Amino acid sequence: MKIATEELDRAILAPIFAEFFRAGFKLLYVGGCVRNAVMAVNATDIDLATDATPPQMREIAEVLGLRVIPTGEAHGTLTFQVGKQKYEITTFRQDVETDGRHATVAFGTLLEGDAARRDFTMNALYADATGNLIDPLGGLEDAKSHKLRFIGDADGRIVEDYLRILRFFRFWAWYGDPDQGIDAEGLAACAQLQSGLDVISKERIGSELLKLLAAPNPAPALAVMEATGILAHILPGASVRGMALLVEAEKGLEPNVLRRLAMLGGDTLQANLRLGNAAARQVGQMRHHGQNSDMALAHGFALGAEHGWSSWLLRSVWLEQMPTVEDRLAVSAGAIAICPVKAVDLKGLFEGPALGAALRQAQAAWLASHMQLEKPELIVRLRLERG
């Protein structure tokens, strides 16, 4: 089989392929970019593999006059920079020793050995400069049929790096076929070895979960994770309830990872996933308004058009309702609205914490009137309620 390499920067990479060949080395496309070409989905980052060692790669780069970045030189990876484009090239490797997080590797010259150390069969695909496919482990048929399988023994692959448990669900969400079901052997191994996730950093766990949530429909994978206890293991208190309905409600929108994370919930999200402050605050705001505000106008007024629509979607799903066009218009109207009462208008009437409370009360009354009440009426109401 041959894949099209035009989208894999064939023209840009042609001189590099030619120089590796002239120097007596192989250079191959590898992994996700080949898999995605086979599956006819958008290419991921373009990664390359070679039987040249890092010092030999440096010599080739020098001949070509290219800058080299030592991305992970000890593990065989250098980045060649061509203009503004960067390409990681990694020497064929074999794992010598692993501790579930990191591996000690030995450089090799055999493609078969390099393929055998990878995680899933569909990721162990290679292609030469002209697109001729090389399939040492039978990953081609798996990729074409959207079947996700560990290479060799699933338990052995996981013990090498326990993060592969989450990668298993992430790749199934992106590339698997829910109608076929998830691979039974792989699932059993993930469930049995889930305690190994305790040695993985929260940053890596958070990164994998967010990548999974970015899939077109993460609901089936998350449901299996919940059923096996893996979801609760990494994010206690999380629930997939409503996720499938949220995905349906999102039709026509780009997947929003933080909105989906807000739907998922969980205890101490920021600590368990190492979310940044801004992301954690946004998730918290969406959950708070989704749980507490029953006016679409108020969602837009508090969070703006985009995030306000997200929080309204959450509320709709939690109530098992589908949002309407009218809801969307109300959120948008709230986002551009300006309450006629400001803090300066209430000075002399209220002070300290009471001033902030009165301003919020005025905003709530104004929104409840569908933004019809004007400043004098609102201030009169506040005076009367104050007594």
Does residue 33 belong to any structural domain of this protein?
yes
Do the domain assignments include residue 221? no
Angle at 246 between CA 240 and CA 251, to 5 degrees: 145
**Are 3 and 127 in contact, with CB atoms under 8 Å apart?**
yes
pLDDT-derived band at 149, boundaries 50, 70, 90: very high
For 95, list phi and psi in degrees, rounded to 5.
-75, 130
Q: Where does a domain end: 119, 145, 171?
A: 145
Q: Which of 83, 114, 145 is the last residue of a domain?
A: 145
263 within domain boundaries: no
Q: What residue numbers bound the domain in which 40 lies?
A: 1-145
Domain count along the chain: 2
Structure tokens at 168: 């298993």
Mean pLDDT throughout 26-44?
90
Instruction: Give the strand order in the sheet containing 126-127.
Output: 67-72, 77-82, 85-91, 47-50, 27-30, 126-127, 133-134
Tokens found for residue 310: 């997200």
List phi, psi (to 5°) of 24: 90, 20
Q: Is the pLDDT of residue 102 over 60?
A: no
Question: Does a structural domain hold residue 8?
Answer: yes
Q: Which two tokens stand for residue 334?
A: 């709230």
**Which has the minimum average pLDDT: 45-49, 104-108, 289-293, 329-333?**
104-108
Give tens-digit pLDDT for 157-177.
999 999 999 999 999 999 999
pLDDT of 332 reads 96
Residue carrying structure tokens 């020098």 = 62
pLDDT value at residue 96? 54
Does residue 326 form part of some domain? Answer: no
pLDDT in tens, 59-70: 999 999 999 999
pLDDT at 78: 96
Q: The whole model's pTM is what? A: 0.88
Return the biggest CA–CA distance within the chain. 90
Q: What is the pLDDT of residues 220-235, one digit of tens each?
A: 999 999 999 999 999 9
Question: At which of 95, 117, 145 does a domain end?
Answer: 145
168 within domain boundaries: no
Is pLDDT above 80 for 372?
A: yes
Q: Is residue 30 part of a domain?
A: yes
Domain-embedded: residue 357: yes
Q: Work out the percent of the chain whose per-residue pLDDT is above 90.
A: 73
**Rg, Å, the chain Cα set:** 27
Q: How far is 89 from 54, CA to CA, in rounded Å?
A: 9
Among the listed ranges 24-33, 179-188, 220-229, 356-365, which one has the minimum average pLDDT value?
Answer: 356-365
Residue 106: helix, strand or coil by DSSP? strand
DSSP state of 350: B
At 72, the pLDDT band (50, 70, 90 cuts) reads confident
The CATH number covering residue 107 comes to 3.30.460.10
| Banded model confidence at residue 290, pLDDT cuts 50, 70, 90 | very high
